[in-house]
A and B are shown apart, each in its own frame.
Chain A
């Protein structure tokens, strides 16, 4: 386990380094003097001079990178030019809202995706299988911001069941919180459910054709027990690992979903930052997202390693 962890860390460190170079490099895309752009429309000479000093803009590029990376390692992602708050603080502030949305979306995606995947595999080449495949194609092809607008039209404008937008903290009123989050969570979970369904279907089909499932059936076990106890358990592991890779889809989707439903989360933070030309916030959000993605993958890999005895044995 320790050796495996060391091996994985050895590949992660250079990846993290390149992520930091990539994100630092974004700033170089700004035309002209970055301080002029970062200072906003006022272009106050005091602010520009301050930014030059703060961002070490008069130093050569590699030195500037080292200063920036040094700051990042100590948790200093810079300061928002518009809100005058440390970027990390802003991200930490907005994170719980997006996290709630993400968790609800994952639960919805798992419930729909896993069920549809099992049904599709068990009833291969039947109407259920075709219906599940159509659902997957629908999920993959529907832009979630449009689905969000359509759901608002149906559930808020036409039926008046759910609020069209806005966010209520669960600590204030959990019922209102659920009412405001259920539509966005469904919208976000929809595309991931489609991906999970496809993974689940192929993993189940593979497991259902194995000898131990055949043996379980030959023993005369109830078909439900065979599917839920013998097949599902073994098919689920790769699906969960592959599901962890959908974290990127989740965050990308959150940006759009939060915009449609006016939810003040992580996604709205990056979009507001883009339009306020608050580039340090944009950089900060991308950096935190990418790092989280890499760490989540590491965790998924380790989890897979721990539950897979063959892999464990081969690494001592």
Chain B
């Protein structure tokens, strides 16, 4: 009787899924939440650029060449009189696009290849691992520069180059996670009841290796944003006159003694966006694996 009363009186605590627990831990991390806010701000800026930017980012004005920041031009103007604020706002598109597209390419290639290497094992794994080692032996930016150089300079090719260069990290991570998960009891059980290899890999292994992939994706976006800015800075990314933070810095470098404002804001924007993705990545890692702190 008393047990029955207690059961009615005390609500049975709902079981919290690991994902939900991680989300709650993430929400409690102030740094990660501020970072998320900054990322959302930049995403909104990129989406609403036509409405938010005070001027046309390509419109030149010979009467406003290299003007210091003022009420009319908050971030000043550049060497051919274009509004720096408007170009910074429109430049958000190139940076975020490069971050998201190139990491999507890396995920689309890296996860299936890593899954195959880890699950199949044997000579397939050995072959994929050696190829991954070979790609990782080439420094990230140097390989991206070489790929972008052979493909031809453009934002699309820069994104392809960064995506391909970022792939081996995802191959290695996915493979290592699969090796850990594939010996778990639930995978053995799935195999015992006669599931196909493809089904085991996609339905039983993949969902269980998602957390580290999410963390790596966030950090890889940060690296890709810097890489796109670097390639554009070197003239291998977004081509002028289209605005990109990297190419704006490339031009600004030549006017640093008489128009320093041209260099400050594109750099601050790269820094803030990359810092936010890094903080978010750190926060996600701590949330998924509290032992890491």
| A contacts, CB < 8 Å to B | 11, 14-19, 21-23, 26-27, 29-31, 137-138, 140-143, 145-146, 149-150, 152-153, 157, 164, 247-249, 251-253, 255-256, 259-260, 270-271, 273-275, 279, 282-283, 285-286, 289-291, 293-294
B142 CB-CB contact with A under 8 Å = yes
- Report chain A residues within 8 Å CB of B10: none
Whether A30 and B139, one on each chain, are in contact in the complex, defined by CB atoms closer than 8 angstroms, is: no
8 A-B residue pairs with CB within 8 Å:
A142-B274, A145-B233, A145-B249, A149-B263, A157-B257, A256-B234, A259-B234, A293-B139
In the complex, the chain B residue whose C-beta lies closest to that of A140 is B278
B176 to A: closest C-beta gap in Å:
16
Whether B253 and A260, one on each chain, are in contact in the complex, defined by CB atoms closer than 8 angstroms, is: yes
Beyond A252-B140, A285-B146, list 12 extra A-B contacts (CB 8 Å).
A15-B134, A26-B147, A142-B271, A142-B274, A143-B274, A149-B249, A149-B253, A248-B138, A248-B139, A248-B142, A275-B235, A290-B137
- B192-242 contacts to A, CB under 8 A, are 222, 226, 229-230, 233-236
Whether B149 and A279, one on each chain, are in contact in the complex, defined by CB atoms closer than 8 angstroms, is: yes
Whether A274 and B256, one on each chain, are in contact in the complex, defined by CB atoms closer than 8 angstroms, is: no
Task: Give the contacting residue for A141; candidates B138, B141, B249, B275; CB below 8 A.
Answer: B275
A110 to B: closest C-beta gap in Å:
20
Task: Give the contacting residue for A255; candidates B131, B137, B145; CB below 8 A.
Answer: B145
Given A15-B137, A285-B142, A294-B137, CB of A29 within 8 Å of CB of B230: no
Whether B267 and A149, one on each chain, are in contact in the complex, defined by CB atoms closer than 8 angstroms, is: yes
Whether B150 and A143, one on each chain, are in contact in the complex, defined by CB atoms closer than 8 angstroms, is: no
Given A141-B275, A149-B267, A150-B263, CB of A270 within 8 Å of CB of B150: no
Whether B150 and A30, one on each chain, are in contact in the complex, defined by CB atoms closer than 8 angstroms, is: yes
Given A141-B222, A143-B271, A145-B230, CB of A270 within 8 Å of CB of B253: no
Which of A260, A274, A279 has the most chain B CB atoms closer than 10 A to its own CB? A274
A204 to B234, CA, bound (A): 39
Whether A256 and B141, one on each chain, are in contact in the complex, defined by CB atoms closer than 8 angstroms, is: yes
Whether A146 and B249, one on each chain, are in contact in the complex, defined by CB atoms closer than 8 angstroms, is: yes
Whether B145 and A29, one on each chain, are in contact in the complex, defined by CB atoms closer than 8 angstroms, is: no
Whether A252 and B146, one on each chain, are in contact in the complex, defined by CB atoms closer than 8 angstroms, is: no
**What are the 7 tightest A-B residue pairs by CB atom distance, in nearest-first order?**
A18-B134, A252-B141, A146-B267, A248-B139, A141-B275, A29-B150, A274-B149
- Report chain A residues within 8 Å CB of B229: 143, 145
B151 CB-CB contact with A under 8 Å = yes
A270 to B: closest C-beta gap in Å:
6
In the complex, the chain B residue whose C-beta lies closest to that of A15 is B133
Whether A248 and B140, one on each chain, are in contact in the complex, defined by CB atoms closer than 8 angstroms, is: yes
B79 to A: closest C-beta gap in Å:
15
A272 to B: closest C-beta gap in Å:
11
Given A26-B147, A275-B235, CB of A137 within 8 Å of CB of B279: yes
B30 CB-CB contact with A under 8 Å = no
B270 CB-CB contact with A under 8 Å = yes
Whether B142 and A157, one on each chain, are in contact in the complex, defined by CB atoms closer than 8 angstroms, is: no
Whether A19 and B134, one on each chain, are in contact in the complex, defined by CB atoms closer than 8 angstroms, is: yes
- Report chain B residues within 8 Å CB of A273: 149
- Report chain A residues within 8 Å CB of B270: 143, 146
B143 CB-CB contact with A under 8 Å = yes
- Report chain A residues within 8 Å CB of B267: 143, 146, 149-150
Whether A256 and B275, one on each chain, are in contact in the complex, defined by CB atoms closer than 8 angstroms, is: no
A161 to B: closest C-beta gap in Å:
15
A15 to B132, CA, bound (A): 8
- Report chain A residues within 8 Å CB of B150: 26-27, 29-30, 279, 282
A27 to B147, CA, bound (A): 10
- B105-160 contacts to A, CB under 8 A, are 130-131, 133-135, 137-143, 145-147, 149-152
- Report chain B residues within 8 Å CB of A283: 146
A164 to B235, CA, bound (A): 21
A149 to B274, CA, bound (A): 18
Whether B146 and A26, one on each chain, are in contact in the complex, defined by CB atoms closer than 8 angstroms, is: yes
In the complex, the chain A residue whose C-beta lies closest to that of B258 is A157
In the complex, the chain A residue whose C-beta lies closest to that of B148 is A274
- Report chain A residues within 8 Å CB of B256: 149, 152-153, 157, 164
Task: Give the contacting residue for A19; candidates B138, B230, B233; CB below 8 A.
Answer: B138
Whether A270 and B142, one on each chain, are in contact in the complex, defined by CB atoms closer than 8 angstroms, is: yes
A283 to B150, CA, bound (A): 10
Whether A274 and B145, one on each chain, are in contact in the complex, defined by CB atoms closer than 8 angstroms, is: yes
- Report chain A residues within 8 Å CB of B139: 247-249, 251-252, 289-290, 293
Whether B143 and A286, one on each chain, are in contact in the complex, defined by CB atoms closer than 8 angstroms, is: yes
In the complex, the chain A residue whose C-beta lies closest to that of B282 is A137
Given A15-B137, A149-B256, A248-B139, CB of A256 within 8 Å of CB of B271: no
Task: Give the contacting residue for A146; candidates B131, B141, B260, B263; CB below 8 A.
Answer: B263
Q: What 0/1 pattern do residues 243 to 270 of B give for CB contact below 8 A with A?
A: 0000001001100110010011011001
In the complex, the chain B residue whose C-beta lies closest to that of A34 is B150
In the complex, the chain B residue whose C-beta lies closest to that of A283 is B146
Which of A30, A141, A252, A256 has the most chain B CB atoms closer than 10 A to its own CB? A141
Task: Give the contacting residue for B146; candidates A164, A256, A275, A286; CB below 8 A.
Answer: A286
- Report chain A residues within 8 Å CB of B222: 141
Whether A290 and B138, one on each chain, are in contact in the complex, defined by CB atoms closer than 8 angstroms, is: yes
Task: Give the contacting residue for A270; candidates B145, B275, B278; CB below 8 A.
Answer: B145
- Report chain A residues within 8 Å CB of B149: 273-274, 279, 282
Whether A271 and B138, one on each chain, are in contact in the complex, defined by CB atoms closer than 8 angstroms, is: no
A256 to B249, CA, bound (A): 12
In the complex, the chain B residue whose C-beta lies closest to that of A26 is B150
- Report chain B residues within 8 Å CB of A26: 146-147, 150
